[in-house]
Amino acid sequence: MSGTAALGLPRMVDATKVATALAAKGGVPDLVNSFERARRIISCYADLQFAKQACEALAEIEPAEDHKGGASATLRQSLMFSAVSYYARATVTQSKSKGKGERGPSRPVFDERLEAMHENVINIRNKALAHVYLDDVDGEDDWHSAKVLMIEKPGGWWPASVTISSHYDPQVVRDLRELIPVAIAQIDDRVRERQDRAVKLLSQAVAERPFDLQFEDFAVDLVETFGSEEAAYTFYSGLMGQGPAAQL
């Protein structure tokens, strides 16, 4: 008996694997693609949640520590880097075939003010965090700057260098705190739309064609997946709060 069954929880199957198996047997056209589109936008939604959590963690850092170095400065920079990276991965095209945040269904629609914030965050991600553009982020040089120096000493000039690098801007964090809730609200609706479409296609395939498949072959063990009985129950309780379940 699997961990999920031993806990008295209902059976759960990996619908994407079921769809893939059906497609291999000549199933409904676009079935696998429907599940892949659903999986991509679910991943985008998860990234936005991670970005939100990073911003919430930033709020817990004492304001008095804002201008101090050491561990708190490193933590603050790391949290902002995470927030920007997760946000960008969820909302910006990575590639036409494999990128999660394809424009269209998973690209949030912002008003003019929020769109300007969004473009600024993505610009900083591209030019200051993911890559290094020396002295070139909107004409400012406070993210990455490197200088080669010549120091006059007796007997001649000596070479030296200095680098200045920053990975934290409180304005970027404030912008993210406005952008992320709007993006989450929009993508949450689209997650449900894509899930519903994929499951509907799968339901039709199962009802209309005599496929020789056993759902037990695609069972998901929640205890194994989440690592503990407590985590499995937490996941299941969260599912029960999402409204009516689709029927197969």
> pLDDT digits over 96-135, tens only?
444 554 444 557 889 999 999 999 999 888 888 877 777 6
Q: How far apart, in Å, do the first and last CA atoms of the chain sit?
A: 23
Confidence band (pLDDT; 50, 70, 90) for 86?
A: very high
Give the pLDDT mean for 224-238: 79
- The pLDDT of residue 6 is 63
Ranked by mean pLDDT, the top range of 60-69, 91-100, 145-154, 201-210 is: 145-154
> Is a pLDDT exceeding 70 seen at residue 68?
no
| Residue 65 confidence (pLDDT) | 52
SS3 107: coil
> What does 4-73 look like in DSSP terms, one character per residue?
HHHTTPPP-B-HHHHHHHHHHTT--TTHHHHHHHHHHHHHHHHHHHHHHHHHHHHHTS-GGGTT--HHHH
Highest mean pLDDT among 8-22, 74-88, 230-244: 74-88
Residue among 84, 164, 108, 107 nearest 132 (CA): 164
pLDDT value for 103: 43
Q: What is the pLDDT of residues 30-66, one digit of tens each?
A: 888 898 989 899 999 999 999 999 999 998 885 545 5
Name the phi and psi angles at 162, rounded to 5.
-145, 140
The per-residue pLDDT for 243 is 41
Residue 248 above 70 pLDDT?
no
Is the pLDDT confidence value at 137 over 70?
Answer: no
| CA–CA gap between residue 214 and residue 77 (Å, rounded) | 50
CB neighbour burial string for 48-84, b if at least 16 within 10 angstroms, e if fewer:
bebbbebbeebeeeeeeeeeeeeeebeebbebbbbbb
pLDDT band at 5 (very low <50, low <70, confident <90, very high): low
Lowest mean pLDDT among 158-162, 163-167, 171-175: 163-167
User: Could you state, in order of their start, the residue ranges of all structural domains in the chain?
Assistant: 28-141+168-208
